[in-house]
Structure 1
Amino acid sequence: MDFAEDLKAHGGDPAAVRHVCQDMSAAYTKGVGLALPDAAISYDRFHVIKLAMSAMDEVRRTEWREQPRAVERALGGADRKVLKGLMWGMRKNPQRWSARQIDAMHWLQYSTLKAARAWRLKMALREVYAAAIEHNNPDQAETDLRAWLSWARRSRLEPFKKLAKTLSEHFAGVISGMVDNRSNAFVEAMNGLLQQAKRAARGFRTADNFIAIAYLRMSKLAHLPAHPFTQAVAR
């Protein structure tokens, strides 16, 4: 309840909050239910795709560890550069593939590897999200997601079967996150900068010091003096 009290202290009204975009943490969901009881929840697409990426990586690592010969045959050899290109190619969007990754992904797509099925599932989920943003129709998004969930359940890939179960349990919030196009990307980027500042300082003695640095890094102040160690430019 600390968030609600802090919001009130700054002139906000917790009862007026109508929407929260978050990841699937049970703790966050419980906290929102207690502090912001009138807010609808949607699950950030970034986190959903990240779960699919993790499932894909788990399938790939397991297959490479348990069936190395099958992977070698499917990829035309055991060159580490090919395997590395494949790993990054599976994670990246096709538009960003390097020449090496294009070659590795060509072999993968014509193979019968489990990793190939995992990659197709991950890409199909991306397409469901892209289509939802385009048509902005909750009913169509539900139809598309249910079709994907059915495919994932029948895939015989345990990580994706678990993912399908997770998304089914959070179905309404996932659909909401698809069609409203909300994202926590900006907040995640800010958090990354704050963590970078924390590492650079090797910790702060007090919370107030850290808060001061947070305001300094995030406020885009333009009137600060020049760095004291910057050499003057000769005129």
Structure 2
Amino acid sequence: MEPWSIVFTDLDTGAILDIVDGRRGQAVRDWIGARPRWWRNRVELVAMDMSTEFRRAVRKVLPKAAITVDHWHVVARANQMVTEVRRRRAHDLHGRRGRATDSAWKYRKLLTCNQENLSGAQRGRMQEIIGADVELGVVWGIKEHVRQLLKADHIDGFHRAWAELEHAVKATRMREAKSLFLTLKVWRKELLTFCRTRVTNARSEAANLSAKNMKRAARGYRNHEHYRLRLLLYTAAQQAC
């Protein structure tokens, strides 16, 4: 039994459909391909994280289904970009890792906070960070552009937010920002689907959490079939309630 499993979840009910051993795209193709044709024809939307391998597999076996990318994973990528720039700038400016005496390290969690959630005191600290290093202010602004893109709930708003994000990225030479934008370009179609449908894979994440908790409670499983049946029985009981 591999340490990773793929959990297929019903986006409507949150019910676990099946658990497949492994984490490769071929496992996704094999499982979906084994479903009856009528079942596959009824699948309209597939939500996933930013796995190009899974996306390729879904497109192969469900060519008519739309794919939406989960916004949480997109924001996580943007936050990772901010963290990478912060670490790089610490070496650029000080020739070392960040320390508690550096405002960028001391208030590092503020750089991944949502702009609208900052208090007055936190905004003052943000100004301290940006005053010490303008580049951190630029990358934080790009992160906020990504969030604005995900807030768009219609096509025109999405295209406007995309143009603003693209302009912000082109105005800087930061490789981290350009790398993130290239990734978003690869997922642009799925991002637009998310903005139109607002469907996420939150139910899948909840199912994954249940699976992890069950594995911890059992101190691990060595037989995948036992693990699979235990999870399916658990989700069936939850649905019955």
Q: Quick check: TM above 0.5?
A: yes
Work out whether 1:204 is the aligned partner of 2:221. yes
User: Structure 1 residues 95 and 214, CA, compared in 2 at 3 Å: closer, same or farther?
Assistant: farther
- Which residue of structure 1 aligns with residue 85 of structure 2? 59
Matched, 1:15 2:41: yes
TM-score (normalised: structure 1): 0.75
Report the CA distance shift for 1:222/1:199 in structure 2 as closer, same or farther (over 3 A): same
Letter in 2 for 1:158: R
CA contact (8 A) 1:141 1:179 kept: no
Unaligned runs of 5+ in 1: 73-77, 225-235
Contact 1:52 1:163 in 2 (8 A): yes
Match of 1:2 in 2: 30
When residues 119 and 220 of structure 1 are mapped into structure 2, their CA distance, relative to the original with a 3 A threshold, is farther
Greater CA radius of gyration, 1 or 2? 1
Q: Which amino acid aligns with 2:147?
A: R
Answer whether contact 1:85 1:104 (CA < 8 A) is retained.
no
Structure with higher strand content:
2
Mapped to 2, the partners of 1:152 and 1:64 lie a distance apart of: 21
Q: Give the deviation of 1:169 after TM superposition.
A: 2.7
Residues 128-151 of structure 1, C-alpha deviation per residue, up to 9 Å, x if partnerless? 222x13xxx213311221221221
1:86 alignment partner, one of 83, 101, 107: 107
| Alignment counterpart, residue 114 of structure 1, candidates 127, 130, 135 | 135
* Residue pair 2:70, 2:194 contacting (<8 A) in 1 also: yes
Equivalent residues, number = 212
Q: Could you tell me the percent identity over the aligned residues?
A: 22
Q: 1:48 to 1:221 in 2, by over 3 A?
A: closer
Q: Contact 2:148/2:161 (CA < 8 Å) preserved in 1?
A: no
How is 1:1-235 mapped onto 2 (pairs within 5 angstroms)? 1-8=29-36, 13-68=39-94, 79-80=100-101, 82-94=103-115, 101=122, 103-130=124-151, 132-133=152-153, 137-215=154-232, 217-219=234-236, 221=238
CA contact (8 A) 2:47 2:199 kept: yes
Distance in 2, matches of 1:24 and 1:155, equals 25
Distance 1:179 1:38 in 2: 17
Query: In structure 2, what residue type is equivalent to 1:43?
Result: V
| Amino acid aligned to 1:4 | I
Shift in Å at residue 96 of structure 1?
5.4
1:212–1:116 CA distance, 2 compared to 1 (3 A): same
Change (3 A) 1:129 1:79: same
SS at match of 1:20: strand
**What are the superposed Cα offsets for residues 33-69 of structure 1, whole Å, 9 maximum, x if unpaired?**
2211111222222222121111111101111233138
